[in-house]
Amino acid sequence: MTKTTDATALHDWQVIGRVEDIPRGGARRTQLLGQNITAQRGPDGALSVFEPDGHNRSLPTRERHGHVWTSLGKPGRELPDMPEFEEEGRRLITCGAITVRTSPLRIVENFLDLAHFPYIHTDILGVEPHTAVEDYKVEIRRPEDEIWATECRFFQPQAATSAGGGQISEYMYRVTSPFVTILDKTCPIREGAWDLIGLFVQPLEEDICDVHSFVLVFDEENSDEAMLHFQQMIFMQDRSILENQIPAHLPLDSRGEHAIPADRTSMVYRRWLRDKGLRFGAIP
């Protein structure tokens, strides 16, 4: 295992755990981009992250969106705003790190794909014969440099723990950095509101990552545990599929692959990564 030389990945913020994974007086030893790191919190609550095999060089830290972030380089910008985290009445459920043996880029790409719902999340996020993905919009927003896919509509038998039955869900996908993606999704119980579901992917090595997922929802009925189980169930349905994707690294050159309209977000994502010069977990 060696630390990556990929400047795009090095100089970005990366997630390394939930806030509660590093309690007062506790530590989390983990990996980031091929580098061992240790995150610890002193008795006074102060958080520090350092490279134990790099003369204990201390790294920048942030605690936002329920998680702890650091960078092996010098990030040129702050973490993206997610104002929903400050909204009254929402409940945050963080699901903890689940390790997946594939490229972090494959995790994000799979998350962006509406077309797999009826086949992998059968009777929950999709069902046959409602397999068609309607037309939607994809754009790269400047100056934030984020991918947004909007007006995605899909029939879902059980869109969330709070859903009483089938509904047409509307989705908005947002990719804020190569390993961070969230979606806004029609809230089943509150008209006009959006539930948030996100994946903060911690790139351990090029072909293995810890996925930190969360939901940030309006739900007055279900327990935290029920929502946790729902979210973990959905993610675990994807995990074994992801681990069997070949090659594990994501090819960024899409020539030679057949694209259907449903794949447009994926095409934009791959091109956006290529334009950034990202190589970690990718086949350029």
Please choose, out of 80-88, 108-116, 135-143, 238-246, the segment that lies near other proteins by the rule CB under 8 A. Answer: 238-246
Instruction: Tell me: does residue 237 bind other proteins (CB under 8 A).
Output: yes
Read off the tokens for 110.
Answer: 């799979």
Instruction: Tell me: does residue 97 bind other proteins (CB under 8 A).
Output: yes
Q: How far apart are CA 269 and CA 266, in angstroms?
A: 5
Between β-strands 250-251 and 282-283, what pairing exists: parallel, antiparallel or unpaired?
A: parallel
Q: Which of 41, 66, 88 is nearest to 190 (CA)?
A: 88
Instruction: Tell me: does residue 58 bind other proteins (CB under 8 A).
Output: no
Please choose, out of 76-84, 148-156, 181-189, 226-234, the segment that lies near other proteins by the rule CB under 8 A. Answer: 226-234
| Count of residues that interact with other proteins, criterion CB under 8 A | 28
Please choose, out of 126-134, 170-178, 227-235, 253-261, the segment that lies near other proteins by the rule CB under 8 A. Answer: 227-235
Instruction: Tell me: does residue 101 bind other proteins (CB under 8 A).
Output: yes
Q: How far apart are CA 151 and CA 60, in angstroms?
A: 37
Q: Which of 54, 73, 80, 96 binds other proteins (CB under 8 A)?
A: 96
Adjacent-strand bridge partners of 184: 172, 196
Q: Hey, what long-range contacts does 17-21 have (CB within 8 A, 24 or more apart)?
A: 17/67, 17/68, 17/97, 17/202, 17/212, 18/66, 18/67, 18/68, 18/94, 18/96, 18/97, 18/212, 19/63, 19/66, 19/67, 19/68, 20/94, 21/68, 21/96, 21/97
Question: Mutual orientation of helices 224-243 and 104-111 as an angle, nearest 10°?
Answer: 120
Instruction: Tell me: does residue 259 bind other proteins (CB under 8 A).
Output: no
Instruction: Tell me: does residue 233 bind other proteins (CB under 8 A).
Output: yes
What would the x/- binding string for other proteins be over residues 107 to 146, using CB under 8 A? ----------------------------------------
Instruction: Tell me: does residue 62 bind other proteins (CB under 8 A).
Output: no
Residues in 8-47 that interact with other proteins by CB under 8 A: 18, 21
Burial class (CB in 10 A: 0-12, 13-18, 19+), 261: exposed
Instruction: Tell me: does residue 98 bind other proteins (CB under 8 A).
Output: yes
Q: Which of 63, 113, 146, 243 binds other proteins (CB under 8 A)?
A: 243
Q: Which of 47, 92, 140, 241 binds other proteins (CB under 8 A)?
A: 241
Q: Using CB under 8 A as the criterion, which residues of the chain lie in contact with other proteins when the complex forms?
A: 18, 21, 94-99, 101, 210, 223-226, 228-230, 232-237, 239-241, 243-244
